[in-house]
Amino acid sequence: MYIPRSILMLLVIIYLLFLLTVDWINAAGGLWWRPFVVAFIVVLVASWAHREQETDESE
Amino acid sequence: MNFELPTLVALGSVYLSLLFGIAYITERGWIPQRVVRHPIVYVLSLGVFASIWAYYGVVGSAQREGYGYLANSIGISLAFMLSPLLLRPLLELTRTYQLSSLADLLAFRYRSPWVGTVTTLVILVGVTPLIALQIRAVADTADILSPAASHGSIAVGFCVLITLFAILFGTSRRPGRTQHDGLMMAIAFESLIKLFAFLVVGGFAIFGGFGGFDEMQEWLLTQPDLLGSLEDTNYFSSFHVMALLFFSAAVAMPHMFYVTFNGNAGRGALSFASWGLPLYFLLMSLPVLPILWAGIRGGSTVPVEYFPVAIGVAFDRPGISLLAYLGGLSAASGLIIVITLALSNMCLNHLILPIQQPAASKDIYRWLMQRRRVLITALIWAGFAFHYLPSDKISIQLMGTVAFAAGLQFLPGIVAILYWPLANKRGFFVGLASGVGIWFPLFMLPLLSETYSFSDIVINWRETAALSLIINCLAFIFGSLYFGSSDEERSSADLCTLDTIKRRKRSGLVAKSAGDFIKSLSKPLGERTATREVGQALKDLGLKKDDRRPYAMRLLRGRLEANLSGLLGPSIAREIIDSYLPYSIVSQHGSSDVTVIENRIEAYRSNLSGMAADLDNLRRYHRQILLDLPLGVCSLSSDREIIMWNRALEEFTEISSADVVGSQLSDLPEPWLTLLEDFIGEDIDHSYKQSFELSAAKRTVNLHKAFIEESGETGSNEGLIILMEDMTETEILEAGLTHSERLASIGRLAAGVAHEIGNPITGIACLAQIIRDEYKDSELTGLAQQIIEQTDRTSKILQSLVNFAHAGTNKLMHENERVLISDCIAQAQTLVSLDKKNKELQLEIDCDAEAAILGDSQRLLQVLINLINNARDASQAGGTIVLAAKNMGSHVHISVTDFGVGIPNAIKSRVFDPFFTTKEAGEGTGLGLSLVFSIVEDLNGNIDIISPFDRTRGTGTQVLLKFPCYDPQLAET
């Protein structure tokens, strides 16, 4: 089964980011926007990961 | 703050009319294609997933589960972020085989119309609550804004409007075939409105509800319950299950399947959506918490889910309420339109067409369109009927969960399409029955039955959903392994499974041309439909109607099946194609069609890595060697189908490989057919110098052949490879060399003859001198003088012949002396006058008497004779050639000018090439100018050709030689 390297990296990054930030998010107090910062980082990484996938799609 | 019902109805009507207007102008081409096909439009159209659930439902979810409300966004976002694993391969499949729904896809993979039917039924039952949910939310929010209005009448009015628009949107085109650009634009617009409305309402919640961010933070710190719900979010139970539900919904829910796979527009759209859609859902999730808190602070008494509309009422901002209502209307209408279109396709292909098919005499497209309209209407009103059934106590969230849990039951079947070739229809049925067996009594029945206790299910829904999926998977695996796959299922698995490239063996078709296809398909489809479908398939493939290649016919059959699958569903399409366009030979599973394998690997190339990529590079390298080999290579299958036709063969035969690959050898034009068939029929592996006529010219080839044996099996015959060597040029060169050799022999003979004649001539000259001296002042003196002059002339001629014949025989012994150009020209004039071809030639000589160079006079003579002969050949009979020699400063310019046809531009660069000639075979060797060039270089000169010499007439050629003037000092050194 072929998995593009960039997608594997994306998976690893998402997993590590989740582990590292879950306590930080839960200890937010009034800083409710913390999960969205993490989500935004994930979206940025995803946009990088899919940058090289575009050529694979046919019309 | 209340609104009049007509205001809300008018708002809804205007909004839906605007959507229709956008669809209309898109279909008319008034919006540029670069906009319509832009990936952002695709991303926004995927925003249809953010239905009432994501607009209203998440607010209630945020109150109950804290950050757990993000599970739906995370689930769908993960499906798109990891699109190379699931969505992209499925996209390729659905595009290739025109599969427009999940039922089509599953029926195609598991090779059973029943799979499509059962899938359609389960999804139909499963998503009806989702449609009901949209209707209920629109009616409930209208109730909030206009309490005086009847709930029922609002729902009826909304359903009437949406039915009308769904029919207009979805049935103006043929189903399954074309991308609904207008619909996609309209859905993208509604997603934009929805996002805008939600963000504005969220912004109002912060700044209007609290007075700013800081104030909201301060207020939040005074709400320990709310903070606690955020901090106690359980990421490891319901969060995961909910995310999984929405992950599977990306493929399993009909509206998402419809937009993801049918609405995919431009190149790279899915890659763009892989991060664009998560960004969209991130933006949609941002305002949820501020809206929830503003609603609580404003003291809204309506259900939490409707806070987006209620906070405008609570803070007395009617504009905000109206905008929020419009956003909700947008979310509901978008989903209903798309889901009913998708479901109507599924119902038509898998419920109606297997029972009732249109007669061939009818207009099939109209017949299908009418039934789709009826189905759309029925589906919307089924949702309307359902929205009355659930108790008001059942939340929006629960209705959504029931629908998405139904979609979850298809996840094992979907994943197995790509990753498990052993899966089969019996396993699928067993798994689905197990999963649905849990889902229906524990999820669906409580919605339908008032007597059924729901409260327990609410508590355990996560475990129930997870349990149904686990049992489904286990039953699917064990069922598939127990029952085994049929040959047909294995073939289908080959088509769908990643990493597998086995294909059926090439087989001939009974129908041999597009005309035969139309004739055969006219029986089930009618002549008009068959002609249109075959024409469309030919157009899709870029084939001509008169193409009869077996390979092209196989492609046409495959494309027709795919196109009919888009129209009638894969089961009916396959039935029609198998029945009316059968193969002439029964194909075997496991054998391979090299062309198809190559195409498949080529399409998959960028996905190969490691050893697979190295092997592919090696394959390409070997293939490239064959393609670029300067010998013609033609590979034939065992049934004489042409598999390879390399570039050398394309150039030699002037037949493109695209025209010939895939056709039978017998389809080749003459003379190639006879040439190759005769050679294949002969019992020899090599045939030399086979001559034939091509375009009125004689061509000669050497042919070689070898049988291809299957690796590891000696004696097996996989096909034949033929090498064709073009010997035409070689034969011309051989003829030229033979002619040259003959001329050289004649030259040697002439030199010998000249030598032998020289002695008697000398004798005659001596005798004539004696007579002249003995008989002074007599008549004999004059005669003797004439004899002496003639013998002198004869001697000169003979000496020139001998000198010319000996010139260049020993390259190391060239003279290096003063060469008077005038003498050389005179000698050349003498020699060329001996050729009878030059009898009518007019030579004009214009030479400086002192012009001289350092070199070998005989070699310069050879240069001049070659140039004069060439000039003569280019001139008309009796034409004039001008020989001139001038001292020009430190150089001597010698020119030979004719007034003939000139040299064509195309060959100017090649005239000095050895063996290049424009003369007939045997007339010229092609070595003359090449020799001239090398001699001039040896003499430190250079050569230019000016052609046309007369630019106004475009005729004549001048060869200009430039040599350094004779320098005595240089000569001594």
Higher pLDDT, B552 or B30: B30
Residue A13 located in a structural domain: yes
User: In chain B, how long is the greatest CA-to-CA distance?
Assistant: 161
Closest residue to B84, CB basis, from A4, A28, A35: A4
Q: With bands split at pLDDT 50, 70 and 90, how would you rate the model's confidence at B474?
A: very high
CA distances in angstroms from B252 to B126, B303, B402, B413, B580, listed in the order given: 11, 30, 14, 10, 33
In a domain, A24, yes or no: yes
H helices of B688-778, in order, are: 728-774
**Model pLDDT for residues B327-360, shown as the tens digit of each residue:** 999 999 999 999 998 999 899 889 998 888 877 7
Mean pLDDT of the A28-44 span = 86
Higher-confidence position of B457 and B111: B111
Residue A53's closest chain B neighbor by CA? B271
| DSSP string covering chain A | ----HHHHHHHHHHHHHHHHHHHHHHT-TT-TTHHHHHHHHHHHHHHHHTGGGGGG---
Pick the residue with more confidence: B395 or A45? Answer: A45
For the B729-806 domain, the top CATH level (class) is mainly alpha
Cα–Cα distance between B375 and B350 in angstroms, integer? 13
What is the ipTM, given to two decimal places?
0.92
Q: What is the model's pLDDT at position B959?
A: 92
Number of domains composing chain A = 1
CB contact under 8 A, B81 and A49: yes
Beta-ladder partners of B641 = B664
Fold classification of B811-973 is Heat Shock Protein 90 (3.30.565)
pLDDT of residue A2: 62
Q: Which residue range(s) make up the domain with A29? A: 5-53
What is the structure's pLDDT at B884?
92
Judge whether B267 and A57 are in contact, CB under 8 Å.
yes
Q: How many Å apart are CA A5 and CA B950, to the nearest integer?
A: 69
Confidence of residue B102 (pLDDT cuts 50, 70, 90): very high
Task: From chain B, pick out residues whose CB is under 8 angstroms from the CB of A21.
Answer: none
Which of helix, strand or coil describes residue B776? Answer: coil
Both tokens of A21, joined, read: 């930030």
Minimum Cα–Cα distance from B87: chain A residue: A57
pLDDT value of residue B812: 47
Per-residue pLDDT tens for B900-925? Answer: 888 888 787 778 876 677 776 556 66
pLDDT at position B921 is 57
Report which residue type is found at B819: V
Neighbours of B23 (CB within 10 A): 25
**Residue B541 near residue B555, CB atoms below 8 Å:** yes
pTM over 0.90: no
Chain A residues near residue B499 by CB distance under 8 angstroms: 1-2
CATH superfamily of B608-726: PAS domain (3.30.450.20)
- For residues B284-304, give the mean pLDDT: 90
The answer to whether position A19 is within a domain reads yes
Does the residue A10 lie in any domain? yes
**Per-domain boundaries in chain B:** 5-408, 421-500, 501-597, 608-726, 729-806, 811-973
User: What pLDDT, in 10s, does the model give residues B519-575?
Assistant: 888 888 888 888 888 888 888 888 888 877 777 787 788 888 888 877 787 778 888
Question: Between B687 and B917, whose confidence is greater?
Answer: B687
Q: Report the C-alpha gap between B580 and B493 in whole angstroms.
A: 24
What element of type H or E holds B962?
A: strand B957-964
Mean pLDDT of A27-45: 86
Cβ-based neighbours of B929, under 8 Å, separated by 6 or more:
B866, B870, B911, B912
Q: Which residues of B touch A30 (CB under 8 A)?
A: 217-218, 220-221, 227
Q: Is residue A59 a part of any domain in this protein?
A: no
Average pLDDT over residues B738-762: 78
Contact B81 A59 (CB under 8 A): no
Nearest Cα neighbor of B132 from B390, B440, B461 is: B390
Helix (H, G, I), strand (E, B) or coil at B658: helix
Q: Containing H/E element for B954?
A: none
Residue from B155, B125, B126 nearest B141 by CA: B155
Given an 8 Å threshold on Cβ–Cβ distance, is A29 in contact with B227?
yes
| Helix (H), strand (E), coil (C) string for B866-907 | HHHHHHHHHCCCCCEEEEEEEEECCEEEEEEEECCCCCCHHH
In a domain, A41, yes or no: yes
Which residues of chain B from 567 to 606 reach within 8 Å of chain A, CB to CB? 603, 606
- Cβ contact (<8 Å) for A32 and B607? no
Helix (H, G, I), strand (E, B) or coil at B960: strand
The answer to whether the CB of B939 falls within 8 A of the CB of B928 is no
DSSP alpha helix (H) spans, B569-665: 570-580, 594-604, 610-628, 647-653, 657-660
Helix (H, G, I), strand (E, B) or coil at B704: strand
Domain contains A11? yes
Q: Quickly state the pLDDT bin for B120 (edges 50, 70, 90).
A: very high
- Whether B416 shows a pLDDT value over 50: the answer reads yes
- Widest CA span of chain A, in angstroms? 49
Structure confidence at residue B433 as a pLDDT band (50, 70, 90): very high
| CA distance to partner chain B, nearest, from residue A31 (Å) | 7
Residue with tokens 């190559």: B598
For the domain covering B5-408, report its CATH number.
Answer: 1.20.1730
Which two three-digit tokens encode residue B946? 């000016």
